[in-house]
């Protein structure tokens, strides 16, 4: 038996769990990031948004916090809901991707296509959000 075939046999019982590793990691991370911005609006975010000239910085900061919690929850909960969950997961993943693109463009524009970007957690959150936006529960 080849090493590849052996590893396939070892991994086979865990195949259905592997998407949950990604789902739970992304969802939990996003929920915790959002909760970290409570009570709303988060002063640090408001100041950042004001410095960047973003309209309604208090409202925007609050929406980001709620969006992070909601997107993270959608990615996790979507895995339990069957056909409806497929849509919920895709919307949650899309929201994660949009929020992360905004975070990169607003808070870290100097990171775009640099080593710093690829050494940060932000690129992985963006990649996982995009993954779930494309794949949903498939």
pLDDT in tens, 66-106: 999 999 999 999 999 989 999 999 999 999 999 999 999 99
Total domain count, the chain: 1
Say if residue 138 is exposed, middle or buried (CB neighbours under 10 Å; 0-12, 13-18, 19+): exposed
Domain that holds residue 63: 19-135
pTM: 0.91
Examine residue 13 and state whether it is found in any structural domain, yes or no.
no
Examine residue 1 and state whether it is found in any structural domain, yes or no.
no
pLDDT in tens, 38-71: 999 989 999 999 999 999 999 999 999 999 999 9
Examine residue 11 and state whether it is found in any structural domain, yes or no.
no
Examine residue 12 and state whether it is found in any structural domain, yes or no.
no
Q: What's the CA gap between 108 and 79, in Å, rounded?
A: 31
């Amino acid at each position: 038996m080849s090493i590849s075939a052996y590893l396939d046999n070892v991994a086979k019982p865990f195949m259905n769990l592997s998407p949950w590793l990604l789902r739970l990691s992304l969802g939990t991370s996003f929920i915790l990031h959002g909760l970290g911005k409570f009570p709303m609006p988060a002063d640090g975010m408001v100041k950042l948004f004001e410095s960047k000239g973003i309209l309604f910085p208090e409202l925007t900061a609050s929406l980001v916090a709620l969006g992070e919690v909601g997107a993270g929850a959608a990615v996790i909960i979507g895995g339990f809901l069957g056909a409806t969950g497929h849509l919920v997961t895709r919307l949650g993943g899309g929201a994660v991707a949009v929020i992360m693109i905004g975070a990169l463009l607003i808070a870290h524009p100097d990171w775009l296509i640099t080593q710093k970007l690829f050494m940060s957690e932000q690129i992985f959150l963006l990649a996982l959000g995009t993954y779930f936006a494309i794949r949903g529960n498939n």
